[in-house]
């Protein structure tokens, strides 16, 4: 069974709320927005049984060694008039056919309809080193606030927590250099995963939220990039505050 197929048994279990058939390692753990929420196969299976009714949409996978990363949309039935749209970046570590770790970054936007996602760049073969180099320049620009060296295409798009926040290269560069982005002070604990033209990174971002230099907030971020011919054409980010 492929690493994606193994990871998909867990995603299927979230929908059925029955994880008995998921191949968890005994020491598996799940990390939600930077916090460990389950340790051990029995605890994780019990947690899955308590999940609300869920429906997933449009899984976008990449695989790097023992790691499978997917970004997708999710509807959660919480008993209201309409499902709550959520946005997910999730990493699975799978070894010897067993899921050892699940790391998920998610956010939900109650009361807001899910906007249409741009669809301009179908998957194509890519060069991993080129993909990683371009994506790293973007993350570096979050801190430097200098977007001139970020290699983006003229029709690049960026989606953050389900919302389109940049459409086109000039728009993206303006956004990176905008005043609000000067809140970003540092990024840390970058963990990169690359699969041809696609890359994903999980990291922490430190943002200043007040006039006091010590008044900061940490964000856990999962971000996906697609790079074609050396230029970033897609950026998809999911982020949430890290509990203090």
208: left (phi over 0), alpha (psi -120 to 50) or beta: beta
Radius of gyration of the chain (CA): 18
Say if strands 152-160 and 163-167 run parallel, antiparallel, or are unpaired: antiparallel
Q: What percent helix, strand, coil does the chain show, rounded to 5?
A: 20, 50, 30
Q: Is the pLDDT of residue 228 over 90?
A: yes
Q: Return the number of other C-beta atoms located less than 10 Å from residue 152's C-beta.
A: 25
More confident residue, 36 or 126: 36
Rounded to whole angstroms, how far apart are CA atoms 3 and 204?
A: 26
- Residue 213's pLDDT is what? 67
Q: Is the pLDDT of residue 18 over 70?
A: yes
Q: Closest Cα to residue 6, out of 92, 118, 88, 129?
A: 92
Percent of the chain whose predicted confidence (pLDDT) is above 90 = 75
- Residue 197's pLDDT is what? 95
Tokens of 213: 């230099």
List pLDDT tens digits, range 67-124: 999 999 999 887 677 888 999 999 999 999 999 999 999 999 887 888 888 877 887 7
- Mean pLDDT across the chain, nearest whole number? 92
- Residue 20's pLDDT is what? 95
**What's this model's pTM, rounded to 2 decimal places?**
0.92
Return the CATH fold of 3-108.
Nuclear Transport Factor 2; Chain: A, (3.10.450)
243: DSSP letter: P
Give, in order, the Cα–Cα distances in Å from 183 to each of 34, 53, 146, 212: 21, 37, 14, 12
- Residue 37's pLDDT is what? 95
* DSSP helix/strand/coil, 80: coil
Rounded to whole angstroms, how far apart are CA atoms 70 and 200?
A: 9
List pLDDT tens digits, range 153-197: 999 999 999 999 999 999 999 999 998 888 889 999 999 999 999
Domains 3-108 and 128-241 share a fold: yes
List pLDDT tens digits, range 206-221: 988 766 667 788 999 9
Residues 112, 36: contact at Cβ < 8 Å? Answer: no
Domain 128-241 has CATH 3.10.450.50: yes
- Residue 219's pLDDT is what? 93
Region 219-237: mean pLDDT is: 96
Region 214-229: mean pLDDT is: 92
What is the residue extent of each domain of the chain?
Answer: 3-108, 128-241
């Amino acid at each position: 069974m492929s690493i994606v197929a193994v990871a998909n048994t867990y995603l299927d279990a979230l929908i059925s709320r029955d994880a008995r058939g998921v191949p968890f390692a005994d020491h598996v753990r799940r990390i939600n927005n930077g916090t460990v929420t389950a340790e051990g196969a029995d605890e994780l299976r019990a947690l899955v049984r308590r999940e609300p009714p869920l429906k997933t949409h449009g899984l976008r996978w990449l695989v790097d060694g023992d790691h499978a990363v997917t970004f997708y949309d999710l509807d959660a039935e919480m008993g209201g008039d309409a499902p709550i749209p959520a946005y997910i970046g999730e990493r699975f570590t799978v070894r010897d056919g067993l899921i050892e770790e699940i790391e998920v970054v998610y956010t939900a936007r109650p009361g807001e309809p899910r906007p249409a996602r741009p669809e301009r760049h179908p998957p194509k073969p890519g060069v991993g080193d080129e993909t990683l180099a371009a994506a790293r320049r973007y993350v570096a620009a979050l801190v430097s606030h200098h977007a001139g060296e970020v290699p983006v295409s003229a029709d690049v798009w960026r989606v953050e927590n389900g919302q389109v926040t940049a459409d086109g290269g000039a728009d993206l560069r303006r956004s990176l250099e905008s005043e609000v982005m000067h809140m970003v002070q540092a990024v840390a604990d970058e963990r990169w995963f690359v699969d041809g033209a696609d890359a994903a990174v999980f990291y922490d971002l430190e943002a200043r939220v007040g006039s006091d230099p010590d008044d900061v907030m940490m964000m856990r971020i999962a971000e996906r990039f697609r790079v074609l011919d050396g230029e970033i054409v897609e950026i998809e980010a999911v982020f949430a505050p890290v509990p203090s």
